[in-house]
Amino acid sequence: MHVVLGASGNTGHVVAKNLLARQQKVRVVGRNAAHLQPHAAQGAEVFIGDVTDATALTKAFQNADTAYVMIPPNVTSNDPLAYSERVSDAIAAGLKNAGVKNVVALSSIGADKNKGTGPVVGLYKLEQKLNQIAGANALFLRAGYFMENTLPQAAVISKMGFAVGPVRPDLKLPMIATRDIGAFAAEALLGLTFRGKQTQELLGQRDVTYTEVATIIGKAIGKPDLRYTQLPDEQIRPAMVQMGMSEQFAGLILEMAASLNSGYMRALEPRTARNTTPTSYETFVAEEFVPAYQHQAVA
């Protein structure tokens, strides 16, 4: 039995879908039964529970051979790091109590640092807690910068006519599509070739700058002269809050951007065939960004 947390989210739904496609027994965990219904229709067992509840997660992990675990983002929390602390405590307690032997955990580049990386500090703590579970094999997938992080630019470009953000325009980011993380995690859960506690970076198809992001998006939406402008934090913060983030979450995202800009938070592995994933940013823009932009234009 494979247990999948965040099964209605970007990575978890791909993990569950891929495992179900291989006729595996899968238990999907989430708070909303309706969101998990597509997996149930494919034969998954549904478990409704809160990721901050160690008792619920202990039950969710019962009789599992493997688990895919992650901290679902909580962008409206007024104390996001305390929230992620509660989630990682509950995940670690649930895995330990249920005696799960093989765990694949979604982490991030920068999870080697214990401070100064914004929300990634929560993933550093998750890794540390899972490291303490004796006898469990754990694989930490330290993913690069999500391509999905560029989707809010659809609204920005619609309104302002250019892309903006806190990241340096020339900073080469290892950008990855979340579907590729989910696919890699599913293969890891099926193959079980990891032993002890291991980290594996996932760096996307190639490194991409925000200047290139604007060029690629511009070409795809018929704005060939689209440009990207780095704005100071004091201009970005209110826009993030307006998008629905709490002040505190926005602050953590800006801290992460600063740590990327300075090189404090970065990939540690050289790029190899193993940590390179297939989906290019051009493909992501064609399949995900353009529809989001067209939806904005209609709205």
271 burial (CB, 10 Å; 0-12 / 13-18 / 19+) is: middle
In the DSSP assignment, the letter for residue 65 is: S
- CB-CB contact of 119 with 252 (8 Å): yes
pLDDT given for residue 296 in this prediction: 77
pLDDT given for residue 295 in this prediction: 86
pLDDT given for residue 299 in this prediction: 66
- Smallest CA-to-CA distance from 53 within 78, 84, 80, 89 is with 89
- Which of the residues in the chain have pLDDT under 50? none
- CB-CB contact of 4 with 26 (8 Å): yes
Amino acid (one-letter) located at 208: V
Tokens of 87: 């989630």
What is this structure's pTM?
0.95
- Strand, helix or coil at 191? helix
- Smallest CA-to-CA distance from 62 within 12, 3, 7, 11 is with 3
